[in-house]
Structure formats: structure tokens, C-alpha cells
Amino acid sequence: MAGESEKRDPDTVASVSSDTASIEKTAGVSKIEGVTLAWSAKGLWIAWAGIMLLAVAISLDSQTIYAFQPYATSTFGAHSLLATIGTVQNIMYAVTKPPVAKIADVFGRFEAFTVSIFLITLGFILEATSNNIGAFAAAQIFYVAGQVGIQFMQQIFAADTTNLKWRALYNALPLSPFLFTTWAGGPIVERILRDNNWRWGYGMYAIIVPICAIPLLISLGYHQRKAAKAGVISNKDQNSSLLRNPAALLTQLDLFGLLLFTAGLTLVLLPMTLAARFPDKWSSPHIIVMLVVGVVCLIAFPVWEVKFAKSPILSLELLKNPTVLGGSGVVFFAFCSFYIYQPYYYSYLVVARGHSFQAATNIVLASSFASTASGVLIAFVVKYTGNYKWVVLGGICIKIIGGGLMVKYRNIDSSIAQLVIGQVILGIGTGFLNVVAVGVQAAVKHKDVASVTAILATGYSVGGAVGDSISGGIWTNLLPGKLEQHLPISAHSHITSIKDNFMAAAAFAWGSPERDAINRAYDDVMRIMLIVALVLLFVPLALIAICQNIDLDAADAKNDYGGVVIGNSSGRRSGAPVDRDRETTGES
């Protein structure tokens, strides 16, 4: 897929840029287009090697971190706040992507990657050293901001360096490490938790992630400087003026819009998980005020973005495109459905099903493995057919089947194989949905790729945040009543500790009246979560219908800007001038 010849002359790079420059490009977009003109095929593959190294580190992190959270929160006597922390995380997933897209567009891809890697490393350090639930929750903000930034920038980098027919595959590649890290996650968790050393589970990644990022940062940074010396990048003065003018920088980053968005999501979603902790529950003045202010912020946000923001964090005008709107809606409901049961599914497996740490981890990760494998395989289908819409429709139908099996085999008497089958089928459907990004990106021009990817990614994250909130609301409001219903009266004094520490629940002897009652309570609540999740999976069937089935070859021609990208046999966008000294990056 990539061939190498002679090095390109900087003068050739500059001549190409003069013919491919376009209006209304921000500095970051111009930088990456300049980089694609300046680097060799070798430089491109070094950058992708760095992407994959970083992907392995992030994949291992994702496979293990979630398993440490129940132990960390239980250490602080706050297991029932798992969904609350999950809601905060998903809100951060949503609100981080637009600023990262802004940084990538305003300053550059190299700068956005650097900021993201710094934040996730800081988050790991703070998580490992936290001494109370407040400090741990605060550390999640830095961790999530960094992780989201890295994963989001991987998508942007794939869009910058591939044509549309290859993009589904290269979007899937950073997820491919899940194919082997899935099975590494269980033993890692088992080994770390054997010594009750969950802090090291976070701390080790503060070393691993920055080291894995080195090849990517070196390649991007070097070729960005090379493009600047060749005169390809002409936005240096713009960046300098922004850094010297804080007011202009805040306007460019749309800080007020970000505050409205963050406050609105936080104040609307958190009450769902917190209401049960107030004596008056939903009638508590604190909850009412949070909801009212949150709704006002969410109403004000689109008004600000459309009418007043000079440089909106989310270009909501793009939602007038039915493919962007439909694709974002599909991923919103798909991830909302998943996160309705996911926060407590691991705890359910350990407590109600009596599985070991490793077995519970592997059952949960079966879905990740299946989604990764199907995502890579279906990317080849998209590459050779140029079709994405019917793939997404098939993925939705498969997820509905998997959700139905999850409900059917939720009961305590079902086998491990039955549990895994539901997880695997759900995962296969999720892998198919990964190609939504290709259709959404194909519907806009290259200068809008980061913005539209931010909208799509926000759909993922807001869906997850809403799902987490619903999950927390169901768990915190229903579990105490179910425990009271099933537990012997003599054990009612343990209800609070069982609710707040899942290890306290698992400590009751298997087969004892108390453990049987706890298992039934867990099972009752999980059944409700899974039914709600299944119902939501039917909504995307209507949303995919409004998406256009875009011809990816035609969309590639429309988005021509020049430069070395993966998937073009000539090593350039079709509109770029040919030069015999240019390197080629094409299909093999």
C-alpha cells in the first residue's frame, strides 16, 4: 500500500501548495495539508507506527481501568457512585472533543496530540495518588480529557492521511489491538488485584503511554517543521497573534459555548444518579435547581452557537445535512443503550453470578473483541463496495438480536456460554457501526472534517452520558428497595454497605440466604436495565433511513487537496500536480 522512491524537493512541495490552497482554512488544517505535502512515505508510516503503539497502550488501559474502578470506589465507600463517575466521564467525553477539534484546527494536529498525551499522563498520576472519592473523581477529568483527545485525534489523523475508501479500515486500525489486549486484560487485572494494588493499575500507564507516543510526535513535529521551512504552512502569524491576544484565543476556542454545553449536560444528567442520595429525592431543592439551570443552559447553547458564536465549538449548521444528523443520532442511541447496563455489569457478574475477577473481565471484554474484529473485517467490505449505509443498517439489526439474547440469558441459571453469545453478537453489531464516521465525513468538505467528526463523537459521548445517568438512576433508586424486599429482616442493617461496596455484597457466603437475596436483587435490577437498553436500539432504524448512501469514490474527488495519502495509487490526491521526484503512497 505504500511505496518509496526519492525524497521530494521542498520547492516541489511549495509549488503543489500554491495550486491546492483553499479559502477559509484554519492554521491547523493548513498545517496538516502541508505535512502531507512535505513528508515521505517513510515518514507517513513512522507516524502510523506511532499511532499503533499509542493504540496498544490505550487499548490495554481501556481493558483494565474499568475493572479497577469498583475497587477504588469501594475503598472510599462509594461503590454506588460508579454510575455518577461514569456520567462525569461521559460528559467529559462529550465536552472534550469539540475543544480538541478546535485545537487541532486552530493550532495543529501535533499540538492537539501533545496536549492530549500530557492530560492523560497527569490523570493517571492523580488517580494513582488519590486519597478520597473527590480526588479520584477529579482525576478522572484529566484522564478522560487525555484519552478522548488521543482517540479523537486518531480519527482525525486517519481522515487526514487516507482516501475515503480506505478510511473505514484505517479508522478501525487503532482499535485492532483489542484483538489481543482483550485477553491480556483479564490476567493483568487478576495479577494487580491479587495484591489489592489497584493504584499501580493506574500508575503504570503514566509511564507506558508517553513512551509509546514518541514516534508519532517525532514524525509529526519533524515534518511540520519541514513544511514550514518549505513555505507550505503560511499561518504562523495567525497562531502567534492568537497566543498574544487571549481575548481572540477565547473567541476562537468558543469558551462561553463550551461552558454552556458542559454546564447543561452536567446539571441535567447528574441528578439522575444523585437524586436517591437526597432525603427528598426528586423534590429536593438542590435537584430541582440543578435541572432547571441545566435545561436553560442546554436551550441557550444552540442559540449561542448558531446566532452569536464567531467560531462555534460545534458547527450545528452541519446538522442540516441529513447524513450528519442521522449518523450522529444512530451512534447516540446505540451508545446510550450500551451504557444503560455497562457500569454495573461487571459487578453483577462478580456478585450475582459468582464469577472470578478474570472470568468477569473476559465476559465483559468479549464484546470489545467482537466489535474490533467485525470492525476490521467490515472495513474491507466498505473499501471494495464503496457502500456504508447498508452496513450500518445491518449493524443495528445485529445489535437488536444481541440485546434480545442479553435479556433472555440474564437470569442466574444461564451458562457462561449464553452470556458470552449475547455479548459477542452485540459487539459484532457495534463493529459495523464504526463505518458511520466514513459516511459522515464523506458528506462534508475536508476543512469541515474535524468539526463534523467532533459532532459525531459528541453523539457517541452524550449518548454514553445519558445512558450512564439512566443506569445510575435505575440502580440507586431500585436496588435498595429490591434488597429490602429480598433480604431477611435480620440483614437489613447491611443494605447501605451492600449498596455502596460491591465487595461487601460478594463477601456473603455463596448459597447463604443473604447471598441468594442479594443475587436476586442484583438480577431484578439488571433485567430492567437490559430491557430499557433493548428498546432504545430500535430508534436508530429510523435514523439511518435519512442518511444518504454516498458514493465514496465521487466524494474523494470532491475533497481533493493534494498530498501523500494512503489509498491513491499515484501517491497524491487526484487534483495535485504530478512530479517525478514525489514519493508515492498507493494501493498495493
Cell of 534: 433493548
Distance of CA 499 to the CA centre of its chain: 29
Below-70 pLDDT ranges, the chain: 1-39, 78-83, 90, 164-165, 195-196, 230-246, 248-249, 272-282, 412, 446, 551-588
- pLDDT tens sequence across 19-63: 333 334 566 566 666 666 666 777 778 888 889 999 999 888 877
C-alpha distances (whole Å) from 13 to each of 26, 225, 313 are 19, 13, 32
Q: Distance between CA atoms of 228 and 236, rounded to whole angstroms?
A: 9
For the beta carbon of residue 2, count every other beta carbon within 10 angstroms: 18
Task: Give the residue among 374, 427, 426 at the shortest CA–CA distance from 402.
Answer: 426
Q: Distance between CA atoms of 75 and 321, rounded to whole angstroms?
A: 48
SS3 574: coil
In the chain the first and final C-alpha atoms are separated, in Å, by 4
Report which secondary-structure segment, H or E, holds 429: helix 416-433
Integer Rg of the chain from CA: 24
Confirm whether pTM is higher than 0.75: no
161 close to 566: Cβ distance less than 8 angstroms: yes
Q: Distance between CA atoms of 235 and 233, rounded to whole angstroms?
A: 6
Cell numbers 472470578 correspond to 356
Cell of 364: 465483559
Beta bridge partners of residue 162, listed in sequence order: 566
Residue 580, pLDDT score = 29
Sign of the Cα pseudo-torsion (222, 228, 234, 239, in order): positive
Q: Distance between CA atoms of 332 and 87, rounded to whole angstroms?
A: 14
Beta bridge partners of residue 566, listed in sequence order: 162
Residue 492 class from Cβ within 10 Å (0-12 exposed, 13-18 middle, 19+ buried)? Answer: exposed
C-alpha distances (whole Å) from 33 to each of 174, 312, 451 are 22, 22, 16
Residue 231, pLDDT score = 66
CA angle 466, 471, 477 (to 5 degrees): 125
Distance of CA 93 to the CA centre of its chain: 7
57 close to 209: Cβ distance less than 8 angstroms: yes
Distance of CA 467 to the CA centre of its chain: 14
Residue 87 class from Cβ within 10 Å (0-12 exposed, 13-18 middle, 19+ buried)? Answer: buried
Q: Count how many Cα atoms sit within 13 Å of the Cα of residue 558 in the half-sphere of its side chain.
A: 14
- pLDDT tens sequence across 64-90: 877 777 777 777 776 666 667 777 776
